[in-house]
Amino acid sequence: MFKKLLVANRGTIAIRIIRACRELGIATVAVFSTADKDALHVRMADESVCIGPPQAEASYLNIPSIISAATTTGADAVHPGYGFLSENGDFAEACRKSGLNFVGPKARHIRLMGDKPRARRIMIRAGVPVLPGSEGKGISEVKDAVADAKRLGYPVLIKAAAGGGGKGMRVVHDEKELLRMFPLARGEAEAAFSSRTMYLEKYLEHARHVEFQILADESRHAIHLGERDCSIQRRHQKVIEESPCPVLTARLREKMGKAAVRAADVVG
């Protein structure tokens, strides 16, 4: 069991982690930007460290500052919460090299699943159902996008290979729209993720967005914690998440849950 855990986040998620640590008898360290010095998570934690100015890139995304805060306070673990650095393989690796336990997937797993075309290839080989889409290592040129769209049939969804949070996503219904939207999506992806690699997926116009949450331990025992319906979105970003999904049958829930666990098992 950890003795002291640094929470590399803020707001509701930081509060929830600190509450859980209290129940488990684990001391906590909060990090905060100068704008959040009076925030509730800072007051709740046993210790707190300022890691920079209000801009997230200079504080909550500042890996050296967070690592320094953890080592200085004697923390033996770091919990990234969600958002910010939670899906950053470099952060997980930096924690490991500093002798800190990273509460989350190992760096190689984050990088593996963060590369969406690569993750698609792995899932296909494992027999996990995926939507028809671009093959290989992704695309970066408009001509390749046009060829993929012709093969898949419109409408298609343009997506960033390193994407997340709705960045670099565009729905297109014909080639004219694709020619206009692909460079815009690629530019947005490059600005957000420093990568021009994109891919296409067949777009389902009438579908529910349902996710299964996965929990695994260091011995590779994986389970799912049920589903949440994230269909209500704005600009491809979730607005409301509802659990359980109101339209999922017991049979489909079991089938999707097994597929989710299989996906976790495949990547270790």
pLDDT in tens, 26-67: 999 999 999 999 999 999 999 999 999 999 889 999 999 999
Provide the token pair at 54: 């209000």
In sequence order, which residues have a C-beta less than 8 Å from that of residue 235 and are 6 or more positions away? Answer: 166
pLDDT at 268 over 90: no
pLDDT at 165 over 80: no
CB atoms within 10 A of CB 107: 19
Mean pLDDT lowest for which of 18-27, 112-121, 143-152? Answer: 112-121
Pairing of the two strands 170-172 and 77-79: unpaired
pTM of the model: 0.80
In sequence order, which residues have a C-beta less than 8 Å from that of residue 206 and are 6 or more positions away? Answer: none
Question: What percent of the chain has a predicted confidence (pLDDT) above 70?
Answer: 100
**pLDDT recorded at residue 82:** 87
Based on the domain organization, do 136 and 93 belong to the same domain?
Answer: no
For residue 92, the enclosing domain spans: 4-104
List pLDDT tens digits, range 167-214.
889 999 999 999 999 999 999 988 878 789 999 999 999 999 999 999
Based on the domain organization, do 121 and 184 belong to the same domain?
Answer: yes
Based on the domain organization, do 185 and 217 belong to the same domain?
Answer: no
* Residue 110 falls inside a structural domain: no
pLDDT at 126 over 90: no
**pLDDT recorded at residue 181:** 97
- Return d(Cα 42, Cα 28) in angstroms, integer: 10
Boundary residue ending a domain (202, 219, 236): 202
DSSP string, 202-258: E--SS---EEEEEEE-TT--EEEEEEEEEEEEETTEEEEEESS-TT--HHHHHHHHH
* Residue 67 falls inside a structural domain: yes
Output the CA torsion sign for 235, 133, 126, 106.
negative
User: Stretch 134-149: mean pLDDT, rounded?
Assistant: 95
* Residue 109 falls inside a structural domain: no
Residue 139 belongs to a domain with what CATH number?
Answer: 3.30.1490.20
**pLDDT recorded at residue 236:** 82
Question: What percent of the chain has a predicted confidence (pLDDT) above 90?
Answer: 82
Place of tokens 């692909």: 182
Q: What is the CA 168 to chain-centroid distance, rounded?
A: 15
* Residue 250 falls inside a structural domain: yes
* Residue 34 near residue 55 (C-beta atoms within 8 A): no
**pLDDT recorded at residue 192:** 79
* Residue 79 falls inside a structural domain: yes
Pairing of the two strands 237-242 and 222-234: antiparallel
- Return d(Cα 200, Cα 170) in angstroms, integer: 10
**pLDDT recorded at residue 131:** 95
When divided into structural domains, the chain yields a total of: 3
Based on the domain organization, do 197 and 259 belong to the same domain?
Answer: no
